[in-house]
Amino acid sequence: MPVKIIASIVGARPQFIKSAPVSRALSSRFREVLIHTGQHYDYGMSEIFFQEMEMHPPDFNLGVGGGSHGEQTGRMLIELEKVVGEVKPDCILVYGDTNSTLAGAVTAAKAGIPLAHVEAGLRSYNRTMPEEINRVLTDHISNFLFCPTDAAIENLAKEGVVNGVYRVGDVMYDALLHNLTIARRRSQVLDRLSLSRKAYALTTVHRAANTDDPERMRSILDALSALPLKVVFPVHPRTRKMIQEWGLTANSNVSFIEPQGYFDILMLQENADCILTDSGGMQKEAYLLGVRCITLREETEWVETVSSGWNRLVGVDQEAIRAAVTDWHPQEGRPPLYGDGHAAEQICEILSRSLNS
């Protein structure tokens, strides 16, 4: 029997991290073709992750780049259709909730190719978020829905999606377990930035609801400026562009730095006093690392991090941000919410059973 082909579609930093353990698992049973849409395209947000995690370079890089949501997704669809027609995969695999996810999903559905969605079933229930639209649409046309949590399965059931649903755990936990020891050995980021353990806060901001609203960004920067500790802020290129465009500034305790590689980010997270972020992936990683997380949003798709007492939703309210940093500390233990670190192996086993039968 010829080896089945899996076309894995990625385009953004979190997807490179998620795909690494899955690619390792797939390599024993499938031929994987890795397609990079080019949604994240500068070195600090893209190439360095393939190098650090020792992933083979993408077989195709579509070089789509930036643009509006519609423009970006449309260009991806055009290019993906060409590549899929050439590769003729037996299954298309997508990750998360980006425009690359939606474009890959629509391409699969239009071509009549089975679609697998890693990180299925997540919901913020905020339809103003582009990511929420991408999640919902992708889930409703997927054949294999690989859920990280029980809550994700419950969300799908509410929408009538019950077939092809599997609770496998979270592949980001797989990636963290694989890479944390390496990061501790290799990363020199604390020395390079003259940071002491637990003496700084780590911040990331990239979601359009924050970056595209000057008042929200101003409120975040003012809140960070008023904190009684150093703030390390690796700035997403788009976030930097908007901060400069609006002429926003912060006090000297806020250190704006370039985006960091995965190993350095892991070390910055593990050694931080707290993490302030609007990133879903970083909320999870903070939980897994035992670092309190303060989420700069009004809702989260990772609801279990909040209910377990390790994540606090503060939006952009300056007083709420300050109070969370200075007065709030988790008391409870951390139950194993995200599986046992073998999600990628389960995904490979399920796909192998289904596609090779």
Active-site positions read: 206
Nearest to 119 by CA among 158, 166, 73: 166
Whether 23 and 55 have beta carbons less than 8 Å apart is answered as yes
d(CA 242, CA 212): 7
DSSP-derived pairing of the beta strands 91-95 and 115-118: parallel
Nearest to 296 by CA among 172, 163, 206: 206
Task: Tell me phi and psi for residue 101, to 5 degrees.
Answer: -60, -50
Q: Which residue has the tokens 């700069």?
A: 296
Q: What angle do CA 224, 226, 228 make, to 5 degrees?
A: 95
CA dist 53 → 179, 257, 293 (Å): 8, 22, 25
Q: Which residue has the tokens 């294999």?
A: 144
- The tokens describing 232, both together, are 């390390």
- The tokens describing 63, both together, are 């070089």
Tell me which amino acid residue 3 is: V
Tell me which amino acid residue 290 is: G
Whether 80 and 113 have beta carbons less than 8 Å apart is answered as no
d(CA 298, CA 24): 36
Half-sphere exposure of 172 (CA within 13 A, CB side): 25
Tell me which amino acid residue 204 is: T
